[in-house]
Amino acid sequence: MTDTEPRVRYALVIRLPREVEVRIEDTFLSVIGTTKPAMGYHLTLLGPYCLAQGVSSPFLAAVSRVCRQTESFPVRLEGLGVFRTANNNAVYLGVENPAPVVALHRRLLQATAGVVEPENERLRAWTVDNYNPHVTLGLGMTDGDLEEFLRLGEQRHLTAEFTVQQVYLVEQVPNGPWEVAAEYSLGATISVPPQG
């Protein structure tokens, strides 16, 4: 395989409970620029990234170990934030109490060092240097669409709380959708979803 060939992409995410997703949809989906990820609204802990050659078993073992050693914790979503890039902006729902999410992110990052390869320098910076847990509401917004979203979105206050009990490993084969590959219960062992 050459460096230019597409590779399977992975991410570790916290999926939002369906009732929280419904509240986000009801609050923001009618605002211009809002998108809904195919795998549902989520907090990305690590990724997207590729695995170094031949390291899938050590990677899975490291993720499993970190999750077994992590207890469930509460998350509160509140407030809009923006990642600004000229005519390619992203809007997100912030995490009010990011410390437990950031701590889990750091443990996963440390446990998988040398095993995961960020897709590009921008993603490496977001995942390693400037990690900011968030739920993306809209990507690729023009500056005008961003201003309109913020004008309308600021009038739509949303606060949502839930308890994080699982971490999901999601994968995307080249040109395919993101799919759940495994579920890690916090404080417990791995569960692989049935194939079908």
- Chunked into runs of 10 residues, the chain (196 residues) has average pLDDT values of 69 96 91 82 91 77 94 95 90 95 95 81 72 92 90 86 96 91 82 53
Q: What is the pLDDT of residue 161?
A: 96
Count the alpha carbons within 13 Å of 53 in the hemisphere toward its beta carbon: 3
Q: What is the pLDDT of residue 106?
A: 94
The Cα 89–Cα 9 span in angstroms is 23
Pairing of strands 159-164, 116-118: unpaired
Q: Which helix (H) or strand (E) holds 77?
A: strand 73-83
Q: Which residues pair with 191 in a beta bridge?
A: 183
Q: What is the pLDDT of residue 1?
A: 40
At position 174, the amino acid (one-letter code) is P
The Cα 138–Cα 23 span in angstroms is 16
Q: What is the pLDDT of residue 186?
A: 96
Q: Please give the distance of CA 154 from its chain centroid, rounded to a whole number.
A: 23
Q: What is the pLDDT of residue 54?
A: 62
Q: Are 44 and 12 in contact (CB under 8 A)?
A: yes
Q: Please identify which residue in the block is written with the tokens 């499993």.
A: 64
The Cα 64–Cα 42 span in angstroms is 20
The Cα 131–Cα 2 span in angstroms is 29
The Cα 91–Cα 86 span in angstroms is 13
Q: What is the CA radius of gyration of the chain?
A: 17
Pairing of strands 73-83, 190-191: unpaired
Q: What is the pLDDT of residue 82?
A: 92
